[in-house]
Structure 1
Amino acid sequence: MSSHLAEGLRSRYPDARICWLAEPQVAPLLEHNPALDAVIVWPKLRWKELLRTRQWGPLLREARDFIVRLRSERFSLAIDAQGLLRTRLFAWLSGARERVGFVSREPGQFLMTRLLAKGAGSRLMGSEYFYLLQQLGVTTTHLRQRIDLAPASTAAAAECLTSVGVSAGYVVFAPFTTRPQKHWFDQRWIELAQATTLQFGLPVVWLGGPADRQHAERLASAGGGIPLAGTTSLAVSAALVAGASLVIGVDTGLTHLGSAFDVPTVALFGATCPYSSTCSERTIVLYHPLPCSPCRRSPSCEGRFDCMQALTVAEVMQAAERLCPARLQA
């Protein structure tokens, strides 16, 4: 959702050196962005392992070397796009004189030199980042989310599809998140898989992370399709989304990628509603707010998830057919 920051900053500061600090799994989504000069990778998992095994010496040495690497860039501006304690800490450790970020409940606000609200409540996907750029003097009317994939990721996605017998188009399902209140229901995914295959004549590819692998296999066994959750990197999963004929998913990164790639996308929201419109005219957001919506991390429905119950298979199919009125082709 923040991917347009790079292009916006480049338009405002054409001669600047612009770097993006990222965790390893998302770095491949940034490394080929033409607006960036470098992607600095924070080895989060490596540090967590050193911490878990109490290897204090190597951890301290690697942390020291990492801070030296950050400061060697001699940044004049650091932007914290997340508003977390750790991202504020990295902004401060960068040595940048100006450190701009969002107001949030997280500690560490004193580490920033300028804090911004998240705008006037726009429901546009990534609106807070458009607002941040505007506060930095950037014209944003021409911007939209942008992900540039490596040719190797696209080739790996094609090879993955060939290995499972997909030679034409396909529909991506992204049903998995880390919070149960954002999930739709298994039986509805199963019915939807059967309905989309019948309507569009294309197989369903189930995507997710490593923890979702067995769940995807169960859904595919019951509803049909190909379970690829947990079998590819994030970059290859992104390439699979980019090549899809249709994406249907809940509030999760793979669904948001569908909008960023301008793929026909149906987004199912309930406990959260991060946006109701996108820069892509080929995204439909389905959301039926209740008096308790959005509950985010504090559901009060005793596990019924009434907001997600309100989303029916028929409604999702109607949205898919509006985006893809004809039988989908490769």
Structure 2
Amino acid sequence: MRILVVAPAWVGDAVMSHPLLVRLKERDPAARIDVLGPAWAVPVFRRMPQVSETLMLPFGHGDLQLGERRRFAKTLPKYDQAIVLPNSFKSALVPWHAGIPLRTGYSGEMRIGLLNDRRPLDEHAVPLMVERFAALAQPKGEALRQPLPEPRLIVDAVARDATLAKFGLSLDRPVVAFAPGAEYGPAKRWPAAHFATLATELADRGFQVWLFGSGKDQEITAQIVAGTKAACVDLAGRTSLDEAIDLMSCASQVVSNDSGLMHIAAALDRPMAALFGSSSPGFTPPLSAKARVISLHLDCSPCFKRVCPLGHTNCLVQMEPTRVLAALDVK
């Protein structure tokens, strides 16, 4: 079979789709699996050996562009099946316009006709996002086979070493990677002052601290650097996602908010403290036995809000750096 997987828009969700790809290959080892996704998520799929080719979706996030989607669909090769992971109307348009005979996905948003293998979503049977994706590799109505494989990303040693050289970094001392951003909103971000306190303690113990994130996270990382008297290497906004994956694979420990980089660190099987505030580890946990989830389980959390509706973000403010340090395997 030749299968087209329409990828989710979020980097973390892209990582969590890996068990689906593994299951598709288990079902048909000779299957060719291509992934169609936004530019910012494509580097994740290039690290998955089950993927034959990555195709870039030439539309901005949220853009409908009906005519452009139809024209783009006509340029695709022939596929036997499309598996549409997002639940939106627009995400099902390209497989429909491309005439792919079997179009699989959850019922979602006004997709009658666009999908001809529509599945009802039983949130109790598949509570985790990774389970919902993986279930689409199985026949309709079949219970999800457990246990699922954990997502894993591959790293090429030559590319990793070239990335280290590009940024003038060395591994003469152990590295702790921080991912202090969260695209979703401030209710998922541990305070910069707490990151700075933890970074100072780690630097005093002989660790390098590398800060990761996008250009949107530079304000936060600058605050951390200022709070540590420049004891950190600030890489936010300086690396591509491919380079961030290479460099994060060098870390002996990771501290991350619930974000795409948290899922990348888990897929690299890095020991990690994963910090949860407004979101729930019961829905999108880091999928690695080496990850330690830290959550205060306050009565008001998880609220799943971008900004704390009570104005205090105590679910993260009251999460002391000493508690996070204790979760790390550092001496």
TM-score normalised by the chain length of structure 1: 0.82
Distance 1:318 1:300 in 2: 26
1:161-195 per-residue CA deviation (whole Å, 9 max, x = no partner) reads: 5x156544211100101211111112111111112
The question of whether the paired residues in 1 share the 8 Å contact of 2:215 and 2:237 is answered with: yes
Which of residues 194, 200, 203 in structure 1 aligns to 2:200? 194
Structure 1 residue 246 and structure 2 residue 253: aligned? yes
Structure 1 residue 89 and structure 2 residue 84: aligned? no
Shift of 1:153: 4.3
Shift of 1:263: 0.5
The question of whether the paired residues in 2 share the 8 Å contact of 1:130 and 1:140 is answered with: no
- Alignment of structure 1 residues 1-330 onto 2, 5 Å: 1-44=16-59, 63=69, 65-70=71-76, 72-73=77-78, 75-104=79-108, 106-108=109-111, 110-113=113-116, 114-117=118-121, 119-120=123-124, 126-135=130-139, 139=145, 141=147, 143-149=149-155, 153-161=159-167, 163-164=168-169, 167-178=172-183, 179-199=185-205, 201-223=206-228, 224-275=231-282, 278-297=286-305, 301-320=309-328, 324-325=329-330, 327=331
Distance 1:13 1:33 in 2: 16
Shift of 1:44: 3.0
Distance 2:125 2:307 in 1: 22
Identify the structure with the greater helix proportion. Answer: 1
Shift of 1:132: 3.3
Distance 1:151 1:67 in 2: 36
The question of whether the paired residues in 2 share the 8 Å contact of 1:29 and 1:148 is answered with: no
Shift of 1:267: 0.5
- Report the CA distance shift for 1:156/1:103 in structure 2 as closer, same or farther (over 3 A): farther
Distance 2:139 2:320 in 1: 41
Alignment gaps of 5+ in structure 2: 1-15
Shift of 1:91: 3.5
Deviates more, 1:209-218 or 1:163-172: 163-172
Alignment gaps of 5+ in structure 1: none
Shift of 1:222: 1.7
1:60-94 per-residue CA deviation (whole Å, 9 max, x = no partner) reads: 6x655521222x22x22211222123322234334
1:28-47 per-residue CA deviation (whole Å, 9 max, x = no partner) reads: 22235321222111123599
Distance 1:292 1:103 in 2: 31
Distance 1:301 1:213 in 2: 25
Amino acid across the alignment from 2:137: L
Percent of paired sites with the same residue: 26
- Report the CA distance shift for 1:268/1:76 in structure 2 as closer, same or farther (over 3 A): same
The question of whether the paired residues in 2 share the 8 Å contact of 1:175 and 1:250 is answered with: yes
- Report the CA distance shift for 1:12/1:160 in structure 2 as closer, same or farther (over 3 A): same
- SS of structure 1 residue aligned to 2:23: helix
Q: CA RMSD of the aligned region, Å?
A: 3.0
The question of whether the paired residues in 2 share the 8 Å contact of 1:196 and 1:202 is answered with: yes
Distance 1:292 1:135 in 2: 39
Equivalent residue pairs, number: 309
The question of whether the paired residues in 2 share the 8 Å contact of 1:25 and 1:233 is answered with: no
- Report the CA distance shift for 1:69/1:47 in structure 2 as closer, same or farther (over 3 A): farther
Distance 1:135 1:144 in 2: 21
The question of whether the paired residues in 2 share the 8 Å contact of 1:249 and 1:268 is answered with: yes
The question of whether the paired residues in 2 share the 8 Å contact of 1:17 and 1:37 is answered with: yes
- SS of structure 2 residue aligned to 1:218: helix
